[in-house]
C-alpha cells in the first residue's frame, strides 16, 4: 500500500481535528451526527493513528505534545465506540464526551485552528 503524501496527511489530520470540539454541544443533531459519527470517527481511526502522528512529528508539522494529545484523543474515542455513549445525546451530556470535546479544542488551539 502506498503512503499518502505528508502534505495530504497533514490536511486530513487538521480536517479530522476540526470536526470535533465543544462547538458541537450547541449544534443540531445532523451536524453532530455528521461531524462525529461520520467524519471524525473515520479520521480518528486513520489520521490520529500513532504511525501517522509520528510522520507528522518527523516532518515538523506537529510537536511531540500535540502527538501525545492526539493519540490520547484517539484512544478515548475508540473506547467510547464500544460503549452505550456512542450517540448524539451522549455527545451533549456525557462527561466522557466533554473530555473529548475539550481535548479537541485544546489540540485545535495548539495547531492554530
**pTM score, whole prediction:** 0.93
| Cβ-based burial of 1 (10 A; exposed 0-12, middle 13-18, buried ≥19) | exposed
Does the pLDDT value for residue 12 go beyond 80?
A: yes
Q: What percent of the chain has pLDDT over 90?
A: 96
Which triple of cell numbers denotes residue 19?
470536526
The structural domains of the chain, with segments of one domain joined by +, span: 6-110
Least confident window among 1-10, 15-24, 48-57, 90-99: 1-10
Q: Grade residue 107 by pLDDT with cuts at 50, 70 and 90.
A: very high
Which triple of cell numbers denotes residue 20?
470535533
The pLDDT of residue 2 is: 60
Amino acid at each position: 500500500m502506498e503512503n499518502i503524501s505528508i502534505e495530504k496527511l497533514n490536511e486530513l489530520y487538521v480536517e479530522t481535528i476540526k470536526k470535533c470540539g465543544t462547538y458541537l454541544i450547541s449544534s443540531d443533531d445532523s451536524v453532530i451526527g455528521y461531524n462525529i459519527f461520520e467524519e471524525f470517527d473515520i479520521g480518528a481511526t486513520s489520521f490520529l493513528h500513532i504511525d501517522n502522528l509520528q510522520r507528522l512529528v518527523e516532518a515538523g508539522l506537529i510537536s511531540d505534545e500535540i502527538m501525545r494529545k492526539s493519540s490520547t484523543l484517539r484512544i478515548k474515542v475508540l473506547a467510547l465506540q464500544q460503549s452505550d455513549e456512542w450517540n448524539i445525546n451522549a455527545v451533549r451530556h456525557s462527561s466522557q464526551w466533554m473530555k473529548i470535546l475539550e481535548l479537541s479544542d485544546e489540540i485545535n488551539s495548539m495547531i492554530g485552528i
